[in-house]
Each structure stands twice: as structure tokens, then as C-alpha cells.
Homo-oligomer: A and B are copies of this chain.
Amino acid sequence: MPARPVSIDDIESLALGAWILGTGGGGSPYQGLLNMRRLYRDGRHVALLDPAELADDDLVAVVSQMGAPLVTQERLTDPATIATAVQMMEEYLGRRFRAVMAVEIGGGNSLQPFMAGALLGLPVVDADAMGRAFPEAQMTSFAIHGLPMFPLTLADIRDNAVIVSRAASWKWMERLSRKACVEVGSIAATCKAPRTGREVKDCAILHTTTKAIRLGATVREARRAHRDPVQAVIEAERGVLLFAGKVADVERRTTEGFLRGTATVGGLDECRGRSFAVAFQNEFAVGWLDGAPRVMTPDLICVMDSVSGEAVGTETLRYGQRVKVIALPAPPVLLTPRGLEHVGPRAFGYDLEFTSVFAP
């Protein structure tokens, strides 16, 4: 069976789980979820394709909504825009795609391939290139594996469309596509460099859609059973509780297409009298416990509502929220020396040697 059907119940779980894997970013999945409910009501169902089922020369569209999470609250996501980016790429290449996949499984970007797939009649590959969310183009397993970074297509809602047909490096791809994204309003639908089936099987992070669905289901089950959903996630996903408290301060600014800032959490319960600060660029990057580095990218830093287990995004953090901060393990490829060059703390401008919360 090459592709298994995905139920709307799976998608509800996916939205919940992907928001946790978003580590604060990837954009809230809420608008995407509303779109998927509507698309499913209209009879447009999407299938999930195991990467192993891809032929080596199949072509896969790798999509994401690019931009600053805060902007997604004003400029709502639209399935047609992401489908346009995919169709632009097909026209540019003169080839048809076999399937769609997310560049990042974290946040609303987990739903972008489902929206495109629903409109274009394509299955979604059970994989992504981050295993979480990250802010920049070169922060992918594809980049870590040294795959080519072009072409990229970018579409906005106004009939503007840009193709980055060549880029001198991953950083140049990031710069050129980011400037176009910022110019059209810091939000744009993108279809990244297309990947062959072989490349997906060798260089993507596999079965992360399934993982996000599982994670969401864990939270939903715990809620139904009146158990602590954060604790349920920690147990099911080998997570670590880093802090529990109340958001005391948020400093946040939208610059150059990113949402940057720092939040401070004051301790409650077993953390009373202590303080946890977490810095973000779209996603949470580094956390300090009482001023000392406690957790850092690429370990997943997830801020969750203490009661509901709902993830808290960098754009929705606000004073007074009761949250738990947990860490989840990063995909192994991100922990290699080359992986850390792309997504370790120094890639975000922090002069810290990476130490994992999960180090033995």
C-alpha cells in the first residue's frame, strides 16, 4: 500500500503535535487546521506516503510558508498560495511532482504540504528536512548533506512571483529569498529546491509527520484521561522537564522578516525562586536557568501551556502565561559536527559550545 489515508482526526493531532515540534516557530498551525477542516469537508482528502515508496527518480516538492510568525496572525494562510508556488516550480522545471513534503515539520509548516496536496491531488511524504522548525534556509538536513539549494519559487497573494534560479551558496539562497519575502510583506509561500526520491530517502528526516501525529495524539489522550499532558509528552518522547513557572517578561521585535526576542519565566512550585530566560529567532534558540546556559539548539526547546499541554509560539508568548519548558531530543543528523555548523548555537550568533540536555 503506497500511501495511507490521513483522517481529519489525524490532522487535528498533527496540528497539535507539530506546534510542539515547532519549538515556538513554524507559525501557528491554527489557520492551516481551519483550512484543512474545510478542505476535508469539501471532500479533498490527502494520503501520507512512506518515503520508502518513492522511486529514486520521483520528484518531490518541498514547501513552506516563509516569514515572521507574528505576521501570520494578520496575513492568513491560504492553500491556493502554496499550491501556486508548487505549480510555478512544475512550470519552471517542465516536470510534474510525485508528492509534496514539508521543509519543516514544526508549526503550521507541517500543514502546508497537506494544503498544497489537497488542492493538487498529491500525497504528502512522511518526512521533513528539520525534524522541528528553524528560521533559515540553510538549516536543513538537505543543506547539511550538501544538496543543491536552487531553484526556489516564491509566491505572494498579489500575483507577485519570484524564482531564485541559482544561488552561490545556501546563505545566498537565504538572503535572496528572505529579501523577496520581506518585500512582499514578510510572509510568502515557497517551493524550495525539488528533491528526488533518492535524495529524500537518503537526506530527509524520515517519518516526522507520523511522529507529530503521535505527539498530538498523546496530548489529546492525556487531556481526555485528565492526566498531565506535558508529563505525558515527556514520558512518550523521552523529554526532559526544564522549568515550570509564569511568563514574567517578553521582549519581542519583528525585523528583517524574523521575529526575535527574549522571554523570562519566573519559577513556580518546585522552581520557585528561580528564573528561566529563553531567546528566540522565530524559534527558541537558547535557554538560561538562573543565568547559566541550560539548553540550546538543536535540542528542541518547547514552551507549553502547563494545563492544556498546548505549545506556546514565540508570537503568542505573553505576560502571566503559566508554562512548562521541556526539551525533546533532536534528530541525530543535526548533532553531527556538520549539523552543528548549520544549526548549533554559533549558527544563531551565540558563542556557546553545544551541550545536549540528553548527553549521557
List of B residues within 8 angstroms of A163 by Cβ: 162-165
Main secondary structure of the interface of A (DSSP, over half): mixed
A residues near B (Cβ < 8 Å) are 88, 92, 153, 158-168, 172, 175-176, 179-180, 182-184
Residues A161 and B172 in contact, CB atoms below 8 Å apart: no
- CB of A85, distance to nearest CB on chain B (Å): 11
Copies in the complex: 2
What are 29 sample pairs from A and B whose C-beta atoms fall under 8 A apart? Answer: A88-B165, A158-B168, A158-B172, A159-B166, A159-B168, A160-B164, A160-B168, A160-B172, A160-B176, A161-B164, A161-B166, A161-B167, A162-B162, A162-B163, A162-B164, A162-B165, A162-B176, A162-B180, A163-B163, A163-B164, A163-B165, A175-B183, A176-B180, A176-B183, A176-B184, A179-B179, A179-B180, A179-B182, A179-B183
List of B residues within 8 angstroms of A175 by Cβ: 183
List of B residues within 8 angstroms of A92 by Cβ: 92, 165
When C-beta atoms are compared, the residue in chain B nearest to A173 turns out to be B160
List of B residues within 8 angstroms of A183 by Cβ: 175-176, 179
- CB of A73, distance to nearest CB on chain B (Å): 23
Residues B160 and A167 in contact, CB atoms below 8 Å apart: yes
- CB of A81, distance to nearest CB on chain B (Å): 13
Most chain-B CB neighbours within 10 Å: which of A162, A164, A168, A184?
A: A162
List of B residues within 8 angstroms of A180 by Cβ: 162, 176, 179-180
Most chain-B CB neighbours within 10 Å: which of A88, A159, A160, A164?
A: A160
Cα of A172 to Cα of B158 in the assembled complex, Å: 10
- CB of A18, distance to nearest CB on chain B (Å): 30
Cα of A183 to Cα of B166 in the assembled complex, Å: 14
Cα of A175 to Cα of B181 in the assembled complex, Å: 12
Cα of A183 to Cα of B153 in the assembled complex, Å: 18
When C-beta atoms are compared, the residue in chain B nearest to A161 turns out to be B166
- A176-B180, A179-B180, A180-B179 as given contacts; A165 in contact with B158, CB under 8 Å: no
Cα of A346 to Cα of B88 in the assembled complex, Å: 36
Cα of A182 to Cα of B175 in the assembled complex, Å: 11
Cα of A176 to Cα of B153 in the assembled complex, Å: 14
List of B residues within 8 angstroms of A166 by Cβ: 159-161
Cα of A167 to Cα of B172 in the assembled complex, Å: 22
- CB of A75, distance to nearest CB on chain B (Å): 15
Cα of A344 to Cα of B79 in the assembled complex, Å: 41
- CB of A23, distance to nearest CB on chain B (Å): 28
